[in-house]
Amino acid sequence: MADVDTGTRPPSFFTDKLSSMQVRFNLVKKNFLESYDDYKKNIDGTNKNRRSLAQWEDLKMDLHTLKVSLKGKSQEFNDIIGNASESIDTRRKIFLDKDKQLEYKNRVIKSASPMKNIEYNKNTKVVLESLYYTTALIMMVSFMYKQYNQ
């Protein structure tokens, strides 16, 4: 089976990304909570509300992108495993079919060997009987010929 390069990142990348996202989430949450009162009152003198909302949307989008990426990779791995398991299953079925055929042939050969012996014995018996009767017939004919000539 060929090695499949999925281009996935190591687990350390995701742990680093998780820790950075946690820090980023805490900062964005803090900024948003500080500007939330102004946001509710619709007062935005320093554009802090817009900036915190944009940060929140960026964070949400990055998290969604990571989620989709992970889901896609897990689906890709699932497909790879599915294809490999199908390949293994087909090869296993072929092997089992051949194994069953060989086992059947082996059984036929084993079951046929006594029949061969019986057939051999039967043929030998016929040959011996025919030789016996032939020699007896020849001896009887020769005896009758001698008796007739005397």
pLDDT at 132: 92
* Domain contains 100: yes
The answer to whether position 81 is within a domain reads yes
148 falls within a domain: no
In a domain, 21, yes or no: yes
Please calculate the CA angle 14-10-78 and round it to the nearest 5 degrees.
90
Phi, psi of 73 (to 5 degrees): -65, -40
pLDDT of residue 114: 65
Task: Check if the beta carbon of residue 77 is closer than 8 Å to that of residue 6.
Answer: yes
CB atoms within 10 A of CB 49: 22
Residues 8 and 73: beta-carbon distance below 8 Å = yes
Contact predicate 50/33, CB 8 Å: no
Helix axes 48-149, 11-41, angle to 10 degrees: 150
- The pLDDT, as a whole number, for residue 142 is 93
Q: Which amino acid is at 126?
A: V
Q: Tell me how far apart the alpha carbons of residues 62 and 65 are, in angstroms, rounded to a whole number.
A: 5
- Answer whether residue 102 is part of any domain: yes
Q: Tell me, yes or no, if the pTM score tops 0.75.
A: no
In this predicted structure, what is the pLDDT of residue 138?
95
Contact 76, 6 (CB under 8 A): yes
**Block means of pLDDT (10 residues each) for the chain, length 150 residues?**
62 79 84 75 71 82 84 82 88 87 78 64 80 93 89
Query: Would residue 30 count as lying in a domain?
Result: yes
Q: What are 52's two structure tokens?
A: 């915190």
Report the number of distinct structural domains present in the chain: 1
Residue 45 domain boundaries: 11-111
Is 131 a member of any domain?
Answer: no
pLDDT of 65: 86
DSSP H or E stretch at residue 83: helix 48-149
- Please indicate, yes or no, if residue 118 is contained in any of the structural domains: no
